[in-house]
Chains A and B, each alone.
Chain A
Amino acid sequence: MSDCPNADVRDLLPDLLHERLDARTRARVVAHVDGCADCRSELELLRSLRGSLDRETPRVDVDRIVAALPKPGAVRPMERRRGWGGRVLSDWRIAAAVTFIVAGGTSLAVMRNARDGGRDSATTPAVGQVKSAATESTTNVPPLVPSGGVRSPAPNATRASVPVQPRPVKPSAPAVRDREEMASTDDQASALTNNRIGDLNERQLKSLLDAIEHMDATPITEPEPVTLRVGGRTTSPTGL
């Protein structure tokens, strides 16, 4: 049995056998096969091989297979499993997880320190540490308001550090005294430092509410007017 030199047509003979050619290609291949004895015998061989394989194969019990299949609702969504050789998570997920853990841990530490600070006046809450350190560090900048409630900086209070683990820190005597001074001279600062509204007296609350009322920190929710330039003419969408 010899091979037809037209390798392209020979390549398509199995597709012709399985009726998997479009009409145009099929017509071309059939035209070649009609005039080529080698291709005709090869096509006949393919047909015989296919029939032989078909007869050799046992019948499959479709009903039994279907009975063994899972029910449509019973299939769990397939988890993507990868070996440790592959990358289990993408980089941004790792970064997000680390950020979440650090932020969560810090928040927890701050909350616990704030709570401990309210319970035990001998310990310094982390919030207080941060606020006092921040207050003190900002005072390194030349004050905009001369004297009054703004204190001069402590020489060694320019570095503000937040401990990750909440641990009671016994404050130095000057630090306690400084905070007491702030509470007595500035009610608003005291309220922020203590961070417990329930502990404020009426005068402190009023002061705090006044401060909030005059606070100018409302975010801009409306878009600013936009000026468009169309065909050399300057217009505004708002008509202004």
Chain B
Amino acid sequence: MSDAARDGGQDTRRDADEGLDSELIARWKSGDERAASALVARHASALARFAVASGERNEVDELVQDTFVRAFNSLDGFRGESSFRTWLFTIERRLLVDRRRSEKRRRDRVEIQEDDASTEYDALDGVVATETERRMRKAVSRLSPTQKEVFTLRVAEGLSYKEIAAAVGTTEGAARVHYHNAMRAVKEFLDE
């Protein structure tokens, strides 16, 4: 199956999503504040998932908020060359990198350790992770940072390789390789 055929098979819902985002952005620019609520509601969870999957455990709420504030302050610079969601991931990823750099200087960042697959959020949410789920999280946590980002965007958000490439600053081909390597690594870990 060719890439064109594959992309053609994916376009329907994606186009509708992008069309709705564009409409909401236009409404917000023309003064409709409710459009901002709709945009945040549509994308906030995905940004939070990406942050958590990337290993962020502290102040996820603030990170997502900063991402939106930065995005809305720069909406005039959004040219629509990528989808709005992809653009948000790009901004969040930059914020994550900045945050890690500054945190590295101050204190050790809390990471998922081998014996710490269950996080404080599990307890807060009242969710008890099953053994299978713990192993899955552990498998993902062992991936390289880039593999983790690509894998999360593909599995949790359903982004295309083109969108992932734009979000993490790589090529479509490299994103595909990262995804399949990550999937193989996860399977191997779960089979152990």
Bound-complex Cα distance A73 to B76 (A):
12
User: Which of A48, A61, A72, A75 has the most chain B CB atoms inside 10 A of its CB?
Assistant: A72
Q: Is A232 close to B, CB under 8 A?
A: no
On chain B, the number of residues with a Cβ less than 8 Å from chain A's Cβ atoms is: 66
Bound-complex Cα distance A42 to B6 (A):
19
Segment among A51-59, A106-114, A184-192 that sits at the interface with chain B:
A51-59
Q: Is A89 close to B, CB under 8 A?
A: no
Bound-complex Cα distance A60 to B129 (A):
20
Closest Cβ of chain A to B82, distance in Å, is 16
Contact B122 A56 (CB under 8 A): yes
On chain A, the number of residues with a Cβ less than 8 Å from chain B's Cβ atoms is: 47
Contact A19 B13 (CB under 8 A): yes
Residue from B68, B137, B160, B184 within 8 A of A56 (CB atoms): B137
Closest Cβ of chain B to A142, distance in Å, is 64
Residues of chain B with a CB closer than 8 A to A46's CB: 155
**Chain A contact residues, CB within 8 Å of chain B:** 1, 3, 8, 11-12, 14-15, 17-22, 24-26, 42, 45-46, 48-50, 52-66, 68-73, 75, 77-78, 80
Q: Please list the 6 inter-chain residue pairs (A to B) with the smallest Cβ-Cβ separation, ordered nearest first.
A: A18-B158, A25-B9, A8-B1, A78-B77, A60-B44, A78-B76
**Chain B contact residues, CB within 8 Å of chain A:** 1, 5-6, 8-14, 28-33, 36-37, 40-41, 44-45, 47-49, 51-53, 60-61, 64-65, 68-69, 72-77, 119, 121-122, 124-125, 127, 129, 132-133, 136-137, 140, 152, 154-158, 160, 176, 183-184, 186-187, 190-191
